[in-house]
Amino acid sequence: MKRDLLSINSISKQEIEELILSAISLKKKQKAFESYQPLKGKTLGMLFEKSSTRTRISFEVGMLQLGGHALYMNWKDTQLGREESEEDTARVLSRYLDGMVFRTFSQKTLETFAGSATIPVINGLTDLLHPCQILSDLMTIAEKKRDFKQLKIAYIGDGNNIANSWINASIILGLNFHLACPQGYEPDREIVEKAKDAPSKIKFSSDPFEACQDADIINTDTWVSMGQEDEYQKRMEAFKNYQLNSALLKVAKEDVLVMHCLPAHRGCEITDEVADGKHSIIFEQAENRLHMQKAILEMFLTQKREGK
């Protein structure tokens, strides 16, 4: 039976750990110019309603390096742009392809598509969740700090899809995760309630200095996500005290690492000094999207297909 990666909750703790080890191994192979093509002859569809740089390129290059082929489809260029249903599109594409990466606004749209597809569907981002990013971030932390379960991981800023996915990962892995968001911009309520019932060390605050106190990792993201452009001025005012800057780094550990999933709006959620400073691993984090996407593709596209 086919499986989808719609959320980090789609996989177990053991599978998360397997993906991290696999991604690190695939990275070593790529750096050593070692050919590894377990997906030779397979085709990945990439249906995007939202624009993308890292997700699109990492999946396309990753599929190529694994021996397969990736086909990019802009939502508006398909019949979905002319009101064909997600269900019918999923049924048709399942007869052409071996897997799908789906990037859209609504988590419900993604789940509707996946429910009708007979091939694995991977969440390339929705407004609610971004599991591939967090899996890649965990890989990066594992490379730099080894046992991320012993670390204090802080996140400051908008309670968006990145924050939601970090909370989900923290519940599964038992992470020490501290999050600070301004009032009115907290993470998804249902996800927060699940976190409160979990034994994990997840703490919620509106104080960025409290969240970053003695932190090993500080993570942030844009204050204005795709589709929120009309809220720009309101958000700039609400988040002005949540900038990741040198003052915040002073309350963290001396060897703190700074993460940002990009794109960064420098001078807003993060300063140039921090983004380009000695604590930053932003670009290593971006590079690792390639290696984690490859691990995800190998895990999900080597499943036995329904009916075969």
pLDDT at 308 over 70: no
Q: Is 266 a catalytic residue?
A: no
Whether 65 is catalytic = no
Active site includes 133?
yes
**How many structural domains comprise the chain?**
2
Residue 199, pLDDT > 90, answer no
Q: Does the annotation count 82 as an active-site position?
A: no
- Does residue 15 sit in the same domain as residue 26? yes
Q: Is the same domain home to 113 and 24? A: yes
Are 199 and 278 members of one domain?
yes
Tell me, yes or no, whether 216 and 297 share the same domain. Answer: no
- Selecting among 54, 103, 260, 279, the annotated active-site residue is 103
- Are 140 and 97 part of one and the same domain? no
pLDDT score, position 109: 96
Residue 144 sits in the same domain as residue 269: yes
In this structure, is residue 38 part of a structural domain?
A: yes
Higher pLDDT pick, 116 / 83 = 116
Catalytic, 30? Answer no
- Residue 90 and residue 158 share a domain: no
Residue 271 placed within a domain: yes
Residue 305 has pLDDT above 60, yes or no: no
Proportion of the chain above pLDDT 90, given as a percent: 86
Kindly report, residue by residue over 94-148, the tens digit of the pLDDT. 999 999 999 999 999 999 999 999 999 999 999 999 999 999 999 999 999 978 8
* In a domain? residue 170: yes
Same domain, 103 and 187: no
pLDDT in tens, 33-82: 999 999 999 999 999 999 999 999 999 999 999 999 999 999 988 888 78
| Tokens linked to 120 | 């694995």
What CATH number should be reported for the domain holding residue 80?
3.40.50.1370
Q: Which of 98, 221, 243, 268 is catalytic?
A: 221
* 137 in the same domain as 93: no
**Mean pLDDT taken over the chain:** 94
pLDDT of residue 172: 95
* Residue 152 domain-assigned (yes or no): yes
Question: How confident is the model at residue 208, as a pLDDT?
Answer: 97
| Residue 266 pLDDT greater than 60, yes or no | yes
Among 65, 107, 130, 243, the one annotated catalytic: 130
pLDDT value for 306: 47
Q: Both 92 and 136 in a single domain?
A: no
Is residue 161, in this structure, part of any structural domain at all? yes
- Predicted pLDDT at 304: 57
Q: Would residue 203 count as lying in a domain?
A: yes
What is the percentage of the chain residues whose pLDDT exceeds 70? 98
2 in any annotated domain: no
Do 233 and 137 share a domain, yes or no? yes
Taking the model in full, what pTM does it have? 0.94
Residue 59's domain spans which residues? 8-130+289-301
Query: Does some domain include residue 1?
Result: no
Predicted local distance difference test score (pLDDT) of residue 206: 96
Shared domain check, 169 and 99: no
Q: Which of 54, 65, 127, 133 is catalytic?
A: 133
**Does residue 221 have an active-site annotation?**
yes
Q: Identify the pLDDT of residue 227.
A: 78
Candidates 181, 261, 285, 293; catalytic one: 261
